[in-house]
Amino acid sequence: MMLSAFPVTSDENYTIGKGFVWWDVTKAQEVDKLKSDLISMVSHEFKTPITSIKGSVETLLRVDAEWEEDFKREMLTGIHEDIDRIQELVNDWLDISRIDAKAIGLDREPVRPSVVVDNAIKKLPKHFASGVTIESTVEKSLPFIYGDRIRLAQVMLNLFTNAIRYNERSPQIKILASYDEKYVHISVADNGIGINSEHLDKVFDRFYCVENGKIRPSGSTGLGLAICKGIVEAHGGCIRAESSQGLGSVFTISIPQYNCDGDKYEET
């Protein structure tokens, strides 16, 4: 809140007192803070991949035709990974801006929950998921949800990525689902480092990163769960987390079922 004072004058223009107005500037300050946080995140996170791409390209430009094919391939693979990273940052930034503008633009249709889960599993990069056990008990017979299959797979993929990243053992992910009369609930359980209860509510806030000492991945921006929350809430659903430090975490999303006047949707 901001207090401003102004003189109160009589009809004859004599000052007869002072008036006060309280302005609620919290919202404007929050928006300004978000903008400056985004700008500093983007400039900071972009620096590393851009510097690395520049170095590799300069080396390749000096390359003589005789250079080893393997060496060139290694350089190009590195450039490709750096470009992926930049693309991820830009996408995160765009998603957060769309969520803020309530313009996430969902393409909703009746979707099988098991399809969302399977699509997300397929999208996990092979090198990242090697040594990871993923067990899904999401039945095909679950009620259809009313959702954007691409956006929901993005949410699941983000939860899988975190389950692998914030883990010091061989990651084990279990995906479970249940439903009530309105929602389908999909949970992603991991055997990772867990989250202390004091941080649990805040992990969905933008830029919130728990200081985990050993685990602070370079690609971490603190936007992933905020984006998941924005996407799930745009569906009229919710996301929540439960965790035991040192044992693991469970993230659950609840998405409204597709409902044709109470009839169950059947695929034709």
Which residues, 144 to 173, sit near ligand ADP by CB under 6 A? Answer: 162-163, 166
Q: Would you count residue 46 as binding ligand ADP (CB under 6 A)? A: no
Under the binding rule (CB under 6 A), the answer on residue 209 touching ligand ADP is: yes
- Rounded Cα distance between 85 and 87, Å, is 5
Q: Which of 222, 238, 240, 265 binds ligand ADP (CB under 6 A)?
A: 222
| 203 scored as a contact of ligand ADP (CB under 6 A) | yes
Interface with ligand ADP (CB under 6 A), residue total 21
Q: Does position 212 bind ligand ADP by CB under 6 A?
A: yes
**Residue number, 111 or 188, with CB nearest to ligand ADP:** 188
Residues 59-98 that bind ligand ADP (CB under 6 A): none
Of 103, 104, 101, which Cα lies nearest the Cα of 34?
101
Question: Smallest distance from the beta carbon of 166 to ligand ADP, in angstroms?
Answer: 3
Closest CB 93 distance from ligand ADP, rounded Å = 13
195 binds ligand ADP (CB under 6 A): yes
Between 224 and 237, name the residue whose CB sits nearer to ligand ADP.
Answer: 224
Which residue lies nearest ligand ADP, judged by its C-beta?
224
Q: Rule CB under 6 A: which of 174-193 touch ligand ADP?
A: 190, 192-193
208 binds ligand ADP (CB under 6 A): yes
221 counts as binding ligand ADP under rule CB under 6 A: yes
Interface contacts to ligand ADP, rule CB under 6 A: 162-163, 166, 190, 192-195, 203, 208-210, 212, 220-226, 249
